Every structure is written in structure tokens, then in C-alpha cells.
């Protein structure tokens, strides 16, 4: 129970009546609590229960150990149910179990040099970009066939065994991108030097034999080549943007040279989206977001993230206009990859993870992680580091949103992981996992859809491999390590969260205030 006398020194004057003194004390009690609560809300760190307060609380971005010892260099990865499919330099493609009960299982041998991959469980597909240079191609596999091979302990697949799974016209492909939501159909854009090849998946047959045909036909036969689009430069970053109707208004965002352009999928016409005023440009990502059927893009390059709204589509021509909804913010370090998980946006650099708020770019937290490499984030976030397991998973965090501006390097204490081993000693890489549910919390209760959600096509769903401990959850997919979201839903979420926070009484902070010395209490106010 609180000692009410300890608050007498904060009253400007003490009434003579005991009843009036008690009422004044209670009013001051509430005023101080509300002021502290409002200050915490404005700062952006407002816990809503005693469970989330205290020094021992876990922050949503704290990582968990997924694989404590992994001795191969990782190229790319994607989650398959509760397991992780990892492409390596020297050992092909490995399947790692979440429970770590079994050792990693080899799915493809080292002859399959995979550079990009997408696991699409609702479509029962694995899409990969293999090899480099003129020998590079796209391969498509059925997840159900791979699962069967793992269960029956069949021989590891080789490049020779996968000849029937390659898309021949994609020879020389150096980059590809898929639409993030598959609202109407799966679309793939493969970049072959300065040429774009648009590929779509055929719709399943509506008759009673459609499911059987989808199981027996080769996955390659389900894809059809639509058209080729020639560009003036070789693209470095690509993203597919869904139009409001899906009929002749889908767009492709490409980044090359010193600019981002929008390409109409139907006509091949190009429109200037954003010009970068810099001598050297390091393109990172282009992230598509939607609001009431209208598209927007978060363009990430160098130290900058810039949001551009593309609205509305006027026939086949987008109106690109600057308005009050456009914004940009800067990172303290140049990122190698970006992950969007509302309400946070995460930047992965070579040695740190920088976390900011999506809505305004305010800095929330920075963690130092040695030899950092993001591997997958289409569901949960996976990254590789040489940091010890205990240091990465048990690290406590500190809020910095009120101490540093978005453009100013931080000057606060950060959890520094132990330094790597000395020269000549073998370093063991570790794979860590940040559950997406921890980041988004109750803010997102379902996968956010594109405007074409009413045209969802039910496809064959692959079963999770038997080595997994749990079935796959809903697939949250993003072309550039993103979770696309509607800005209207952001507003709704923010409004709901603000209401919940304001309903929480601030008296719990007075418990902490009471434990401080008298001088500290005065300074805290």
C-alpha cells in the first residue's frame, strides 16, 4: 500500500481540513499518474500491463536461437512450415528442423547452386534461381514431391535430376520477383540483362479432374510466358505492384542507374517514379503498400527510405504525384536488407539491426550483431551471425526513441556482443529467429491482402514435412523481405492502440515513483 504522506511535498499548499487535504492528495495522485502515462505514450513506449513493465521484460525484437551450430556459408533461405530451407555455397540446399531434434537434411546437392528461392505453400511450389551468368535459370518444384522424397529417404536431388523442372526461356536470368499476395494469379518477372520476361501460372481446370491434373502434371507445364519488355538499363531491384482491377493496370517497379521507374505490364511503357541525386547509388529494396485499392511504394536506397504514392490509375497510366502522404527518413548505417513488420521497419546492416517505426521513421532500438546476414523473412525473420547464442537471445534492450532523431547517430548504450574469435580459429555461425507474431502482436490478426483479395484462387496446399513439429501458419509473403500493409489499416490500428493506451490508468507508474528517493521523484517530474 502506498504511503500517502510521501506525496505531501508535491502539493503547492496544504489545506487545513483533513477531508480537503485527502481530496487534494488524490487529485494530485491522479494528475501525476496521467502526466507520466501521457509522457510515456508520446515517447512511444507505453506498456499496457504490469507484465510488460520492469527491467526483465522481453522486447518484441529479441531473437531466439534456431540453429546453434551451422558450419556452411548461407546464400539465401525461406521458411517451410516451422522448418527453414537454406541454400549454401558448398552443401547445396539443407532443411533445418525448428526443434533441432534431427540434424540438417540435404534436399539438393551442391550441383544446385541456388541464388534466390521462394517457398509458396498454398501453391505447392518451390521457385529457385540457380547458377549464375549464362547458365542461370529459374526452376520450379512441387513441395509435395520434395516432402515425399524426404519421408521415403530417397537420394538427394541433383541438378541432373532437375532438368525437367527448369523454365527454359529464363536462361541468363540474374534476378526475379513475384507478386506478394497472389490475389488473382501468381506472376513472376525474370530479369535477363535489360529484358524483363513476364510469366504467369495457368488457372487450374474447373472440372472434377483439376486436382488430379495439378498433382500429376509437371509444374513447368502450369506456367506460360506472357511477354517480353525491353529496358534501357539492367535492373538491380524489382517489385510487382498490383493494380486496382488487375486488368491491364499491374505495374513493375524497377531500379537502375540513378532512378526508380514504373513499367506497365501490359504495354511496357515506362514512367519516372523517383530520381536519386547522388553520385553513387546502392539500391536496397522497393516495397509495395496499398490504400483503398491505390498503390504506394517504399523506395529504399543508400541511407534513405522514401515513400511515394501512386494514385489513382488512370486507365493504364499511373498518376505519380507528390502529396502530404509522401515522406522519407534516414538510417544511421547503410542497410543491406529491409524487413517491414508493422509497426516496425528493420534495417539489417553488416553488423547491426536498426529498428524504426513505419509511420514516422523514429528510431526505436539498435542492436549490434557481428557478421550479420539476413536470410529469410517471408514469415518469421531469420538471420545468421557469429554472435554467441546466449548473447543474442537473452540480450536486454533499451528504448531510444526519445534520445535520438531519425537522422542522428545514436549516443546511448547498446548491447555489444562478445567479439569474434581470434585469427586462425574456426568460427561457428548461428541462425537466429525473430517470431513475426512478437513484432506485430495484436496489431495484425491476419495476412494483409492486396486489392485483389476477392479473386483468391484455391490451390493445392503442400503438407509440412514430417520433421517439422507444427503445421504451417498463414503465409505472410513479401517480395523484398516485407509485409505489405494498407495505410488505412495502419490508421485503424493506431487509433485502436491509442484508445487502449489511454484507457490504462497511469497509477502503476506511481509505484515505481514511490520507490525512488524524494529528490529523484522531483527530478522525474
- Predicted confidence band at 26 (pLDDT cuts at 50, 70, 90)? confident
What's the predicted TM-score (pTM) here?
Answer: 0.70
- Bridge partners of 120, per DSSP, are 125
What is the model's pLDDT at position 236? 96
Q: Count how many Cα atoms sit within 13 Å of the Cα of residue 277 in the half-sphere of its side chain.
A: 0
Residue 125 burial (CB count, 10 A): 23
User: What are the residues whose beta carbons fall under 8 Å from the beta carbon of 467, sequence distance 6 or more?
Assistant: 83, 95, 97, 101, 102, 105, 150
Mark out the alpha helices in 123-261 (DSSP H runs): 143-151, 210-216
C-alpha cell of 218?
Answer: 509437371
List the CATH code of the domain at 64-490.
2.130.10.10
Residue 170 is given by DSSP the state G
Cα–Cα–Cα angle for 192, 196, 200, rounded to 5 degrees? 115
- Predicted confidence band at 53 (pLDDT cuts at 50, 70, 90)? low
CA atoms 441, 445, 447, 448: torsion sign: negative
Rounded mean pLDDT, 228-241: 95
pLDDT for residue 98 is more than 70: yes
Q: Rounded to whole angstroms, how far apart are CA atoms 383 and 225?
A: 34
Identify the helix (H) or strand (E) that includes residue 112: none
- Predicted confidence band at 218 (pLDDT cuts at 50, 70, 90)? confident
- Predicted confidence band at 416 (pLDDT cuts at 50, 70, 90)? very low
pLDDT for residue 418 is more than 50: no
Choice among 69-78, 241-250, 329-338, 381-390 with the minimum mean pLDDT: 241-250
Percent of the chain with pLDDT over 70: 63
Which comes out higher in pLDDT, residue 78 or 494? 78
Cα(first)–Cα(last) distance of the chain, in Å? Answer: 22
- Predicted confidence band at 429 (pLDDT cuts at 50, 70, 90)? confident
Q: Rounded to whole angstroms, how far apart are CA atoms 398 and 394?
A: 13
Query: Residue 383 in contact with residue 375, Cβ under 8 Å?
Result: yes
What is the model's pLDDT at position 44? 57
Percent of the chain with pLDDT over 90: 41
Per-residue pLDDT reduced to its tens digit, 282-341: 999 999 877 666 778 999 999 999 988 885 555 555 556 566 567 889 999 999 999 988
- Predicted confidence band at 245 (pLDDT cuts at 50, 70, 90)? confident
What is the model's pLDDT at position 157? 92
Per-residue pLDDT reduced to its tens digit, 141-181: 999 999 999 988 888 999 999 999 999 999 999 999 998 77
- Predicted confidence band at 450 (pLDDT cuts at 50, 70, 90)? very low
3 state SS of 17 = coil
What is the model's pLDDT at position 206? 53
Amino acid at each position: 500500500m502506498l504511503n500517502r504522506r510521501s506525496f505531501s511535498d508535491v502539493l503547492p499548499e496544504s489545506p487545513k481540513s483533513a477531508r480537503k487535504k485527502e481530496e487534494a492528495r488524490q487529485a494530485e495522485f491522479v494528475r501525476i499518474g496521467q502526466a507520466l502515462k501521457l509522457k510515456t505514450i508520446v515517447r512511444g513506449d507505453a506498456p499496457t500491463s504490469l507484465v510488460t513493465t520492469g527491467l526483465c521484460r522481453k522486447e518484441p525484437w529479441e531473437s531466439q536461437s534456431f540453429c546453434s551450430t551451422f558450419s556452411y556459408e548461407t546464400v539465401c533461405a525461406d521458411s517451410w512450415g516451422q522448418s527453414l530451407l537454406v541454400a549454401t555455397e558448398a552443401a547445396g540446399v539443407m532443411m533445418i528442423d525448428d526443434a533441432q531434434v534431427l540434424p540438417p537434411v540435404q534436399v539438393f546437392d551442391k550441383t544446385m547452386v541456388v541464388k534466390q528461392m521462394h517457398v509458396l505453400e498454398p501453391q505447392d511450389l518451390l521457385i529457385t534461381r540457380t547458377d549464375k551468368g549464362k547458365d542461370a535459370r529459374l526452376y520450379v518444384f512441387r513441395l509435395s514431391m520434395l516432402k515425399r522424397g524426404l519421408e521415403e529417404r530417397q537420394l538427394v536431388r541433383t541438378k541432373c535430376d532437375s532438368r525437367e523442372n527448369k523454365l527454359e526461356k529464363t536462361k541468363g536470368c540474374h534476378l526475379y520477383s513475384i507478386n506478394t499476395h497472389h490475389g488473382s494469379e501468381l506472376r513472376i518477372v525474370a530479369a535477363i540483362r535489360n529484358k524483363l520476361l513476364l510469366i504467369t501460372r495457368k488457372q487450374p481446370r474447373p472440372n472434377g479432374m483439376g486436382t488430379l491434373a495439378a498433382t500429376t502434371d509437371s509444374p513447368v507445364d502450369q506456367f506460360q510466358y506472357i511477354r517480353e519488355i525491353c529496358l534501357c538499363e539492367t535492373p538491380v531491384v524489382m517489385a510487382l505492384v498490383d493494380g486496382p482491377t488487375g486488368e491491364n493496370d499491374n505495374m513493375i517497379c524497377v531500379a537502375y542507374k540513378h532512378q526508380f521507374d514504373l513499367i506497365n505490364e501490359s504495354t511496357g511503357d515506362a514512367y519516372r517514379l523517383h530520381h536519386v541525386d547522388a553520385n553513387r547509388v546502392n539500391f536496397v529494396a522497393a516495397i509495395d503498400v496499398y490504400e483503398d485499392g491505390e498503390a504506394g511504394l517504399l523506395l529504399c536506397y543508400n541511407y534513405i527510405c522514401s515513400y511515394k504514392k501512386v494514385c489513382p490509375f488512370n486507365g493504364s497510366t499511373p498518376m505519380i504525384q507528390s502529396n502530404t502522404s509522401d515522406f522519407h527518413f534516414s538510417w544511421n548505417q547503410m542497410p543491406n536488407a529491409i524487413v517491414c513488420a508493422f509497426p516496425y521497419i528493420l534495417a539489417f546492416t553488416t553488423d547491426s539491426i536498426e529498428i524504426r517505426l513505419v509511420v514516422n521513421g523514429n528510431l526505436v532500438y539498435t542492436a549490434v550483431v557481428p557478421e550479420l546476414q539476413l536470410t529469410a523473412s517471408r514469415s518469421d525473420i531469420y538471420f545468421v551471425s557469429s554472435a554467441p547464442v546466449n548473447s543474442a537471445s537473452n540480450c536486454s534492450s533499451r528504448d531510444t526513441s526519445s534520445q535520438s532523431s531519425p537522422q542522428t547517430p545514436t549516443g546511448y548504450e547498446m548491447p555489444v556482443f562478445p567479439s569474434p574469435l581470434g585469427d586462425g580459429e574456426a568460427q561457428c555461425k548461428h541462425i537466429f529467429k525473430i517470431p513475426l507474431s512478437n513484432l506485430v502482436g495484436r496489431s495484425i490478426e491476419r495476412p494483409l491482402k492486396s486489392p485483389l483479395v476477392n479473386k483468391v484462387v484455391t490451390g493445392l496446399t503442400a503438407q509440412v514435412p514430417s520433421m517439422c513439429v507444427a503445421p504451417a501458419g498463414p503465409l505472410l509473403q513479401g517480395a523484398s523481405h516485407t509485409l505489405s500493409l494498407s495505410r488505412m489499416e495502419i490508421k485503424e490500428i493506431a487509433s485502436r492502440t491509442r484508445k487502449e493506451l489511454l484507457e490504462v490508468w497511469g497509477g502503476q507508474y506511481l509505484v515505481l515513483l514511490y520507490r525512488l528517493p524524494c529528490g529523484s521523484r522531483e527530478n522525474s517530474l
